[in-house]
């Protein structure tokens, strides 16, 4: 699980996943006892270990939360429904408030196959590109 610390003009991800520990020690997690199913990747929900790819998936969920103001899949969806949908490879409905570039990035981050997900360096580049485009759009008359 990740926490996001917000400053006046910056955001910082802290405690993002457990993937940084994979080379130090093998992590055994009982997924059935973990909460926050709304943020978990398909492979993690089927018993896989945390990875950078699962962090990418979870980060996409945090972006959706930041954009929509609601948890992915909504508060009304039961954990059983969420787990079923995620394991099938379905993703939450991406609202029309996302631009085409934002929508595409989220889809690339939430691919069912973790090997098909984009890398964090790609995500950072695309987020900077999107932010620059939005800043230019707001400053032009």
CB count within 10 Å of CB 70 equals: 14
pLDDT digits (tens, 9 = 90+) for 28-71: 444 444 457 778 888 988 888 888 999 999 999 888 888 888 88
- Residue 47 · residue 27 · CB < 8 Å: no
pLDDT confidence of residue 34: 45
pLDDT band per the 50, 70, 90 thresholds, residue 24: very low
Topology of the domain comprising 3-139: Transferase(Phosphotransferase); domain 1 (1.10.510)
pLDDT digits (tens, 9 = 90+) for 110-140: 999 999 999 999 999 999 999 998 888 887 6
pLDDT digits (tens, 9 = 90+) for 94-118: 667 788 888 899 999 999 999 999 9
- Residue 27 · residue 18 · CB < 8 Å: yes
Tell me how far apart the alpha carbons of residues 19 and 32 are, in angstroms, rounded to a whole number.
Answer: 19
Q: Give the predicted TM-score (pTM) of the model.
A: 0.72
Q: Which of 1-5, 13-17, 20-24, 92-96 has the lowest mean pLDDT?
A: 20-24
* Domain boundaries along the sequence of the chain: 3-139
């Amino acid at each position: 699980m990740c926490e996001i610390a917000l400053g006046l003009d910056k955001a910082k991800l802290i405690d993002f996943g457990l993937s940084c520990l994979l080379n130090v020690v093998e992590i055994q997690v009982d997924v059935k006892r973990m909460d926050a199913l709304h943020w978990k990747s398909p492979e993690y929900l089927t018993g896989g270990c945390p990875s950078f790819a699962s962090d990418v998936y979870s980060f996409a969920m945090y972006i959706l939360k930041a954009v929509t103001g609601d948890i992915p899949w909504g508060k009304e969806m039961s954990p059983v429904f969420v787990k079923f949908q995620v394991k099938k490879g379905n993703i939450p409905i991406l609202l029309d408030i996302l631009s085409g570039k934002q929508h595409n990035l989220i889809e690339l981050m939430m691919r069912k196959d973790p090997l098909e997900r984009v890398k964090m360096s790609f995500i950072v580049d695309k987020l900077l590109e999107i932010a620059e485009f939005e800043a230019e759009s707001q400053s032009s008359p």
